[in-house]
Structure 1
Amino acid sequence: MWFKNFIFYRFTEQQDYTQEQLETAFSEHLFEPCRSQELSRFGWVAPHPALDEQTVFASSGAYLITAQKEEKILPATVIKKNLNERVHQIEQEQARKVYRKEQLQMKDEIILDLLPRAFSKFQQTSALLLPRAGFIVVDSSSHKGAEELLNLLRNSLSTLPIALPETQQSPGVVMSEWLQQTSSFPAFTCLDECELKDQTEEGGVIRIKGHDLHSSEVIAHLEKDKKVTKLAMQWDETLSFILQDDLSIKRVKPTDELTQTLNEEASEDPLVRLDSDVARLALECQRLYPQLLEAFGGQIQR
């Protein structure tokens, strides 16, 4: 078990949750399958199959939680085809035009008719709560997905005082300087992939992969007012990832060294393995988060 993405949120007020408190709060917001006339459902599930109905897994002061979303799949082309057929039938049989307001009403009726026969798509999003360390990390590839989980957490707890971290220096500017100066912040090493964005209104994007990022060609782009928006990094010989200029982290992968350590620590018991993985994930996040902020001048306190 390892997160593929890191989106960090800092607590703006000190929190001290307990597993029992979280379990109780989650009990009113458990995931339930969509009813026949519902488009989607979202709620808490067990963060590991071996946990049965337990919705919070605690390890080393960290709490692993998982939310599940079910969405009914109704292709727009299917809805449009059914709507066109109904409109055509009415116009032929009643010799009148079907206007927009009536079409919208008919569209809603078609959706209700199709929902019981629609397939479902399921998606899970996990997060690690580290209240003593002062932050939450969400395993989501988008802020929208992260906010869905956090809104559910906020509704469950009635309050959730968090905010995205802000740094003294612009991550895009600093990462651009790393490439121009052929150096980076200690513990962070630039790899061979990045994305550059033009700062003009047109906002053209250049994606580079498998290339020396300190080459004269890349430097020339940076000197023409382009800034780094994504940069492949290796951190402390522990993790490799894509760091974005909003401080979100994608495509997180343990290095070979860490993978070997995780395998050596692995247990055949799934819950013992989960405890080991969560403890290690919490440890690495607690090391990475402050170093990430420090690399960009430290956090702005508000």
Structure 2
Amino acid sequence: MWFKHLHLYHIHDMKLLSPEQTAVALSEHAAKPLGNADARRIGWTAPAGRLSGGQLLHTLKNDGHRLISALRQERMLPAAVVAEEVADQIAEIEANEGRKVTRKEKTALKEQVTEELLPRAFVRSQKIDLWWDTERQLIGVNTSSRSRAEDALDLLRETLGSLKVTPLSTQTLPIRAMTTWLGDPASRPADLQIGDSVVLKAKGDDGVLRGRQVDLDCDEMQQLLESGRQASQMAMAIEGQLSFIMHDDLALKSLRFGDALIEEADHADDGDDALARLETDFVLMAGSLRDSVARLIEWLGGENQQEPAAKEASND
């Protein structure tokens, strides 16, 4: 269950429900199988899987960490398949009735074909894990897509009745910090290690340059920075904790936890118990994420106190 990606959000002015109250709320919005007419659906699922007894919430009471998982299901009905079937039906109508099908009829045919084909479409399921640090008022969503992260937060908002969050923002913009660290090794924090991949963005319309498995301290890289390019993505590591690619929106992707943490998890005596395995992994992962995010925020000058308007909704 080790996270691969992380979109970070700050929680504002929230009255925290107890674990028991939260578990009840989650159960009321648990994932259900897609109905024949449903194109997509999202609900809560057990983070540890089917063998965990259906437990929807995992908490580390002494540390304030919570773990929940959303299951997003979507029927895969390619537009080309619908278009082909609609075209066949239009051709048949025009041949049999000797007339052109109107635009209104075409729209109705498309809706009808979609409704008929949808129950036979394949279902794609995606599990989206959320790490909730109740002490630091942070939520981290394990998905590569910002829109998928927002889907999970919308579900949490509906579940809790109200949730006010904004994407985590720092005093120093990530693109500015990454560019500075890349161009000036002396400016790098002591525990920061530069990786071997970067995306450089030009200020004008000159596109982007991507470098992989390259020496980021080479002379050519310095020349590109001197020409005005900025680092919009960069591989880095926090020594002994976590390596990742930081994006200019503060998304952390391609997470890789320290070898010592993974070895400690592998050596834990949890047998074939899926729940015990998840609890072990979560303890180690949550601690590493809290420390790593706190350190990263510090390197970026602390949180931005002038947050943009937070998204909020209520079921009241």
- TMscore range, shorter length: over 0.9
Q: Is the Cα–Cα contact under 8 Å of residues 265 and 276 in structure 1 kept in the other structure?
A: yes
What corresponds to 1:233 in structure 2?
236
1:87 maps to which of 90, 99, 109:
90
What corresponds to 2:313 in structure 1?
none
| Structure 2, unaligned runs of 5 or more | 307-316
What corresponds to 1:149 in structure 2?
152
Query: Which whole-Å CA distance do the structure 2 matches of 1:133 and 1:237 have between them?
Result: 22
Query: Which whole-Å CA distance do the structure 2 matches of 1:55 and 1:95 have between them?
Result: 59
Per-residue deviation, 1:170 = 1.5
Does residue 66 of structure 2 align to residue 63 of structure 1? yes
Gap change, CA 1:271 and 1:27, over 3 Å in 2: closer
What corresponds to 1:103 in structure 2?
106
Does residue 44 of structure 2 align to residue 41 of structure 1? no
Q: Is the Cα–Cα contact under 8 Å of residues 266 and 276 in structure 1 kept in the other structure?
A: no
Q: Is the Cα–Cα contact under 8 Å of residues 55 and 66 in structure 1 kept in the other structure?
A: yes
- Taking structure 2 as the reference length, the TM-score comes to 0.91
What corresponds to 2:314 in structure 1?
none
Q: Is the Cα–Cα contact under 8 Å of residues 17 and 131 in structure 1 kept in the other structure?
A: no
Query: Which whole-Å CA distance do the structure 2 matches of 1:186 and 1:99 have between them?
Result: 69
Counterpart residue type for residue 56 of structure 2? T
After TM superposition, the structure 1 = structure 2 runs for residues 127-276 of structure 1, keeping only pairs within 5 Å, are: 127-183=130-186, 184-200=188-204, 202-268=205-271, 269-276=273-280
Does residue 56 of structure 2 align to residue 52 of structure 1? no
What corresponds to 1:16 in structure 2?
16
How many pairs align? 301
Q: Is the Cα–Cα contact under 8 Å of residues 59 and 279 in structure 1 kept in the other structure?
A: yes
> Which stretch shifts more, 73-82 or 13-22?
13-22
What corresponds to 2:309 in structure 1?
none
SS in 2 for 1:265: coil
> Which stretch shifts more, 92-101 or 122-131?
92-101
Per-residue deviation, 1:203 = 4.9
Per-residue deviation, 1:68 = 0.6
Query: Which whole-Å CA distance do the structure 1 matches of 2:194 and 2:173 have between them?
Result: 17
What corresponds to 1:32 in structure 2?
32
Per-residue deviation, 1:272 = 2.2
Per-residue deviation, 1:273 = 2.2
Query: Which whole-Å CA distance do the structure 2 matches of 1:244 and 1:143 have between them?
Result: 12
Counterpart residue type for residue 185 of structure 1? P
What corresponds to 2:310 in structure 1?
none
Query: Which whole-Å CA distance do the structure 2 matches of 1:162 and 1:78 have between them?
Result: 39
Counterpart residue type for residue 11 of structure 1? I
Q: Is the Cα–Cα contact under 8 Å of residues 15 and 132 in structure 1 kept in the other structure?
A: no
Query: Which whole-Å CA distance do the structure 1 matches of 2:138 and 2:40 have between them?
Result: 29
- Provide the alpha-carbon RMSD of the alignment: 1.5
Per-residue deviation, 1:259 = 1.9
SS in 2 for 1:29: coil
Query: Which whole-Å CA distance do the structure 2 matches of 1:206 and 1:51 have between them?
Result: 46
Per-residue deviation, 1:279 = 1.3
Deviations for 1:47-94, whole angstroms, at most 9, x for unmatched residues?
112322221112242111011111111111111110110111111111
- Percent of pairs identical after alignment? 32
Per-residue deviation, 1:14 = 4.8
Per-residue deviation, 1:266 = 4.8
Q: Is the Cα–Cα contact under 8 Å of residues 172 and 245 in structure 1 kept in the other structure?
A: yes
